[in-house]
Structure 1
Amino acid sequence: MKNIQGERDGLQNKKKRAQDRNSFVVEAALRPYSDLKGMRFKPDNDESLSRVLLSMFCDAKEANDLRIEVHGLRTELAMSSRKEASQDLQQARLEIKGLREVVHVLQEKNQEMGEVQDKRQRTQNNAGEITILREEIQRLQKDALAKVDKVRPIPDAQFAGEFHAMIAMIRSLSRSAYDSDDADAFSAFGDGVLLRDVPAHRWKTRAQKKSSIEAWMWSALIELVFATPSKFSSDQSDPVHQVWCGLFDARGHCPWPAPSIQSETWRCSTMKQVVELAGRSIITLGQYVSPQVSTNSRARELQETILRSRAELANTVESLLIAMAPTADTSQIQELVDKAFTLAMEMSLQRPRLQVVYPEIGADFDKTQMHAIPDRSIDDMQNGTVAFVVNPGLVKWGDAEGHNLDCRYDIIPSLVQLEPILLPETEKRMSDEAVVVKNEQDLIRVELEDHTGDIPACS
């Protein structure tokens, strides 16, 4: 009997402890959480309990998204490290590593949730950890943005001069390469961004063929140097641009984030660190400052990537020019590469956004954003659509301090060939003229057939 009584007492104690734990979880976690969320909660009601637990579980799943944000911030801090702040950055790396471990633990906990009691305990912890992670992310973002030093603003006139110099150089190269009317030579162009959707008959005349060579070289520059602010310093994956878009949500046809003070400050700060890590001479001249290669593995890898990008651009342009004309003057290609990489670097370091842009084929002519090639066949140069683009334009959003980023200013408009828009009366006149010509041709053909019938056949 004593044994039975002892077991009964033990069971009663276990039951009481279980009830106490359950009451503690309800009062310390579930009820405060439901009050915070404005949810009606009844501990004895299964439906009410399930609703609160489901909400807690959803909050816990947010930890996975926060893990991705923390990883992006880790990359951001790694790219924005400076010599004078090495200790702070090292501490930030340690903090990010700790946050990643916390997120990993949270993810494992979410996968292991099985029993209701375990869910109650874990979701309480997750809610607190999510709050901590959000606070850490905000702090890291502020730290990264606070490390932006003032960059010397470059006047629009200087950018215009550098861009005009590239236009003149490309035009000179295209003239030296054009020495043939062979249509097969122009098939070497491939699918450049400025040549897509342009019908072949647009390149019939000598002037149009010269323009097509310019358009092809500009296509190569856009794809290999100016596609993104960081393209000149990266390989095809362009990781800096991916992080930028991931942080500031790039959408739409243009794969760039909408310009904002936060996005442009991050871009300016990050590219400043990239330039400092690689060295300006590597970017602008393809040369090391000293004979020795950097001992920093990250710097060395970045320098090698930039040198490969410079070589790819030079080889691409040279191979096309030689294919067009074996005697083409290629001596200016290296200078063109230097100018392109220098311009791309300076654009990436400015507070306002600078971008190489071009209109789509078929777009309506806009005199504020485009210049049209003079064409005597078009009476009204203001009414037309873009037939093809000879060279892109240079656009700036915002002022020198990086404010008013919704304001667009075209430093250099795009140069385009227009297709005239035919008015209804013009279309009718051309249609009537075509009918008259066809009738005259039919009449001539009938007369020739009649005369041919009178001629005896040859034996």
Structure 2
Amino acid sequence: MSNYTEERMSSTTRAEIAQELIDVVDAVPDVGEAGPSHEEKKGSKHDSRDSSTLKEEAEKPLPREPTEESSRSQVKESANTSNGSEESRSRKESNSNQQPCFESRLRREDIVAMCPWTEYEMSITDLDHCFNQIRTLPSLIDRLKELSEENEKLRALQDDMLSGIDRFHPAPDSAIVEKVAGLRGLIRIFSKMYARQLKSIKEGPSVRDRLKGRTLTALIDDSIWEDSRNVVLLAESVIWKKIIDDVFWSPFQIFGERLEDTWKAIFDEDGKESADPYPFASEQSEKWRNATVLHLTSKANKNPEKASAVATTILEQLEDRLSSILGINMLKALDRESLRKIVIDSCEFAALLGQQRCRLRFYTPEAGIHFDTSDNRQKLEAIGSDEIQFGKVAFVSAPELRKWGNGYGQNLEELDVIAGARVKVVELS
């Protein structure tokens, strides 16, 4: 009886060890259609075991044989079991509890040594992973195309934004002062010729009657009119007044447009009414004027006939004024050519002033203001005796040019005189 029990226990232990090896191999996951089927693997497991492997397993030391007392207890427990299936289920549960510890002792080389086909299965798994990555290439390429298109849109948007950057460059004060000096020189030359014709008139109204009310200064003392040396300066004042009224009164005047009311309605204070064509100065109002004048200049360049017609109208009005003063129907051809040059330069200069962001306007100082050579903040260009250090302004022959703000239309509360007025100065009485 004892020999039979020992033999039975030895065979049972060996069967359990073999079952553990089979369960370990069964734990390797299938790789799908690329690998062998479950049934093929199960058959291959037993076939692949050669005699040497079985011999190594048989030579392994068996567990210590149980004592006679433990054998009797095991037989008793086996007799008390309800059926063989419960005993088999108990062994499987015991094996499943021991399996993690057994797996932890196995390495990849051990599994491959016992089951060579697993290396093939693992290679198939790696290849399948690579194929999955290859399958995603078309979607990656499509995504790259989308990103490229988005990048192009972004670049186009950046180009639009860059094109919208304010590229305004103001004209330097020196260039504007040079323009003022050039226009003054043309008017002064013409005034000398015109004054000679005016002095040559022996009959009819006096020079005072002919020029009164048409000069920049409204009230002029009688002593000034009686001095013939002042006729050239007075004639110069007459021409400047007509040029300011017809060319420089509004920034849009030389284009034949009446946009000053719109300009004032947009930027002037509510309820404010004045005859001044300029609204309250602000950075926005000057930018609007600058953009509008640039647009009108572009239109004038595309339609030079209209621009020429406006300049011709201004020239005709100036000729009518000067010829009526002389009491003649038409000026001489040389005088008309000189006037034409004055009108063209005035229109070009008015367009330049209108295109600036700062506010630039001609201004006429009042008669009677004090003149002091040591404190000449208004930069007055005195005409008279060089010995006069202190005096007063009798009349203005050429207006001054004032500037509000900097070249970019900022700090518009700051005032600067960039070209002082030409004035007749007399001594204080």
**Bin of the TM-score, shorter chain as denominator length:** 0.5 to 0.7
Counterpart position of 2:241: 219
- Per-residue deviation, 1:227: 1.2
Cα 1:233–1:309, aligned 2, differ >3 Å: closer, same or farther? farther
Say whether residues 1:242 and 2:264 are aligned partners.
no
Deviations 1:232-269 (A, max 9, x none): 223xxx63111112222266685522321011111111
Deviations 1:114-155 (A, max 9, x none): xxxxxxxxxxxxxxxxxxxxxxxxxxxxxxxx9896444212
Cα 1:213–1:398, aligned 2, differ >3 Å: closer, same or farther? same
Cα 1:325–1:243, aligned 2, differ >3 Å: closer, same or farther? closer
Say whether residues 1:387 and 2:394 are aligned partners.
yes
Counterpart position of 2:195: 178
Equivalent residue runs for 1:228-307 within 5 Å: 228-234=250-256, 239-249=258-268, 254-279=276-301, 282=304, 288=305, 304-305=309-310, 307=312
- Per-residue deviation, 1:193: 5.2
Cα 1:367–1:148, aligned 2, differ >3 Å: closer, same or farther? farther
Deviations 1:346-384 (A, max 9, x none): 100111111111112233447222424343497433xx3
Say whether residues 1:308 and 2:313 are aligned partners.
yes
Match of 1:373 among 349, 369, 382: 382
Q: Secondary structure at the match of 2:287?
A: helix
Cα 1:401–1:408, aligned 2, differ >3 Å: closer, same or farther? same
Counterpart position of 1:355: 361
Deviations 1:169-228 (A, max 9, x none): 111111112222656255333522504222343222222111100000001111111112
Aligned mates of 1:261, 1:211 — CA distance in 2: 38
The one-letter amino acid paired with 1:226 is F
Aligned mates of 1:270, 1:242 — CA distance in 2: 14
The one-letter amino acid paired with 1:391 is A
Alignment RMSD: 3.3
**Runs (5+) with no aligned partner, structure 2:** 1-162
Counterpart position of 2:428: 421
Aligned mates of 2:302, 2:346 — CA distance in 1: 13
Q: Secondary structure at the match of 2:367?
A: coil
Counterpart position of 1:451: none
The one-letter amino acid paired with 2:235 is I
Q: Secondary structure at the match of 1:263?
A: helix
Aligned mates of 2:314, 2:423 — CA distance in 1: 28
Cα 1:303–1:170, aligned 2, differ >3 Å: closer, same or farther? closer
Aligned mates of 2:333, 2:226 — CA distance in 1: 21
TM score, norm. by length of structure 2: 0.52
Aligned mates of 1:148, 1:306 — CA distance in 2: 34
Say whether residues 1:332 and 2:338 are aligned partners.
yes
Aligned mates of 1:252, 1:419 — CA distance in 2: 34
Aligned mates of 1:165, 1:377 — CA distance in 2: 24
Aligned mates of 1:363, 1:265 — CA distance in 2: 34
Pick the structure with greater CA Rg: 2
Cα 1:317–1:273, aligned 2, differ >3 Å: closer, same or farther? farther
Counterpart position of 1:344: 350
Aligned mates of 2:379, 2:329 — CA distance in 1: 29
Aligned mates of 2:192, 2:298 — CA distance in 1: 38
- Per-residue deviation, 1:270: 1.5
- Per-residue deviation, 1:392: 0.5
Equivalent residue runs for 1:96-135 within 5 Å: none
Q: Secondary structure at the match of 2:278?
A: coil
Say whether residues 1:188 and 2:210 are aligned partners.
yes
Q: Secondary structure at the match of 1:417?
A: strand
Instruction: Determine if contact 1:370/1:416 at 8 Å carries over to the other structure.
Output: no
- Per-residue deviation, 1:274: 1.7
Counterpart position of 1:397: 404
Counterpart position of 2:225: 203
Shifted more, 409-418 versus 307-316: the winner is 307-316
Aligned mates of 1:200, 1:228 — CA distance in 2: 33
Aligned mates of 1:149, 1:415 — CA distance in 2: 37
Cα 1:248–1:194, aligned 2, differ >3 Å: closer, same or farther? same
- Per-residue deviation, 1:281: 7.6
The one-letter amino acid paired with 1:201 is S
Aligned mates of 1:244, 1:388 — CA distance in 2: 33
Deviations 1:286-343 (A, max 9, x none): xx4xxxxxxxxxxx6x775554334433544465567599769413111111100000
